Amino acid sequence: MGLYYYGIRDTTTTYATNFLNLIPVVTFILSISFRLEKVNVHTKAGKVKSLGAVICVADALTTSLYNGEAFYIGHHHHDHSSHIITSMPSNSHWVRDTLMLLSSCFSYSACMVSHTSEVDECIPSQVLQSVVLGLCLETSVAAWRLDLDLQLLTIVYSWYEK
């Protein structure tokens, strides 16, 4: 996420958000590369998976590269020339920031792919991490008190389903 935050620093939020849409595609490509996912393009499922990846990339490219008219919500009765919207800030380092956003996308996908085989083994460590983080962020004793309510029922139900 640090790479994403550095990448968004000098770009627009719309531009940076498009890289989040590429994470499923990069994850799909990495999982195929590491033989965690099998795609047979001769089956209906394989065609749908491939078509979904192409649509995600086309959508991200379209919204990144499209420079249309400014869109205003509501009625503006004043001069719109003072509210010109540009696609990128004038002081941007768009090559550097694009590389950071791409690196963020790749890192997040690689993290998800690397954790697929370890999911069952790392659940106790995830619980421990959550408890430590909770203790650091929520120090009041009242927040840790268990009541017989919907929150407790949700926790028990989600634990039971695993």
Neighbours of 21 (CB within 10 A): 16
Q: What is the number of structural domains in the chain? A: 2
- The reply to whether the predicted model has a pTM over 0.75 is no
Question: What would the pLDDT profile of 88-107 be if each residue is shown by its tens digit?
Answer: 455 557 788 888 888 888 98
CA dist., res. 51 & res. 38, Å (int): 15
Phi-psi label, residue 35: left if phi above 0, alpha if psi -120 to 50, beta otherwise: left
The answer to whether residues 113 and 124 belong to one domain is no
Task: Tell me the mean pLDDT in the region 127-137.
Answer: 74
Question: What would the pLDDT profile of 33-65 be if each residue is shown by its tens digit?
Answer: 888 888 888 999 889 988 988 998 888 788 777
The answer to whether residues 161 and 101 belong to one domain is no
The answer to whether residues 146 and 97 belong to one domain is no
The answer to whether residues 113 and 123 belong to one domain is no
Which tokens go with 93?
């380092």
The answer to whether residues 150 and 95 belong to one domain is no
The answer to whether residues 35 and 82 belong to one domain is yes
Domain with 132 in it: 118-162
The answer to whether residues 8 and 47 belong to one domain is yes
pLDDT confidence tier of residue 144, bands split at 50, 70 and 90:
confident
